[in-house]
Amino acid sequence: MTDHTRTALVTGASAGIGATFARVLAAEGLDLVLVARRKERLDDLAAELEEQHRVRCEVFSADLSDPSAPAAIMAFVAEKQLHIDVLINNAGLSGMDAFADTEWESLAGEIQVMVTAPTQLAHLVVPGMKERRWGRIINLSSLAAFAPPGESLLYTGIKSYVLNMSQALDMELKPHGVHVTALCPGFTYSEFHDVMGSREAATSLPSLLWQQPEAVVREGWGAVNAGKPVCVPGVVNKVISHAMRPVPYRAQYAMGKTFNPFKH
């Protein structure tokens, strides 16, 4: 039992995996702070969840490519007198043009959204989680984190960072009751490919490679509660991830925890 209702902060909550996380967590009785750029969608989702599950939903419109966004989000949380017990770092995007042909502002925004912002948000919520001796953080990585680099794309490198960062944080925080999981989905039905302009190429792939967001979210939520630092949802994705990496991620985690020469 806890002395307050647990609250989850979900970024990129206006659609796809983020909105699905919001629905799953609301069904479990968690209050929510929903963050995305599209406030109208967040308002609609908040009204739906409050009516269906009688939970509290606060909405904060923010563009995570803005370096000031993480601090602004947490100032809003403090203003509402909430504690963040669950952090879902879901917001993401991917450039499609050649690195040399892309304006630095766009590349910097991609790094800010998927590297700096989730890392900073984790840093901001972890002290409270440690104090309360309970916390859950899910960082959205990707099956791409296990793949060879894609020409011109920062995406595989970014998602590899998220995978490794999540495991490093889990090693440190698990003794304090805080679990961190890198959720690494493959192709998932959402608006991601529409926004990135890759829908035509994506839909040409076999249906066997695709998952519904509900399946991804439920496996990821189960994994973080079970203390699994890496979750690759779906049997096909698990096979692909193991085929692309000679050393299984569980063995890498154990090696990284045991043989770290820089650990204090």
Model confidence at 244: pLDDT above 50? yes
HSE toward the beta carbon, residue 194, CA cutoff 13 A? 5
- pLDDT tens for 173-198 read 999 999 999 999 998 876 554 555 44
Contact criterion met (CB below 8 Å) for 50 and 42: no
- pLDDT tens for 62-82 read 999 999 999 999 999 999 999
CA angle 69-94-222, nearest 5°?
A: 75
Task: Work out the percent of the chain whose per-residue pLDDT is above 90.
Answer: 70
Task: Say which of 39, 80, 130, 159 is annotated catalytic.
Answer: 159
| 155 a catalytic residue | yes
Model confidence at 146: pLDDT above 60? yes
Give the residue extent of every domain in the chain. Answer: 7-258
Lowest mean pLDDT among 74-88, 143-157, 162-176: 143-157
The chain-wide mean pLDDT, for the chain, equals: 89
Task: Say which of 155, 161, 249, 253 is annotated catalytic.
Answer: 155
User: Span 7-258: which CATH code?
Assistant: 3.40.50.720
Count of Cβ atoms closer than 10 Å to residue 100 Cβ = 6
Model confidence at 147: pLDDT above 80? yes
- pLDDT tens for 32-67 read 999 999 999 999 999 999 999 999 999 999 999 999
Model confidence at 210: pLDDT above 90? no
| pTM of the predicted structure, to 2 decimals | 0.88
| 228 a catalytic residue | no
Contact criterion met (CB below 8 Å) for 182 and 223: no
Please tell me the predicted confidence (pLDDT) of residue 204.
Answer: 65
Q: Which residues pair with 58 in a beta bridge?
A: 33
Task: Work out the percent of the chain whose per-residue pLDDT is above 70.
Answer: 88
Please tell me the predicted confidence (pLDDT) of residue 170.
Answer: 98
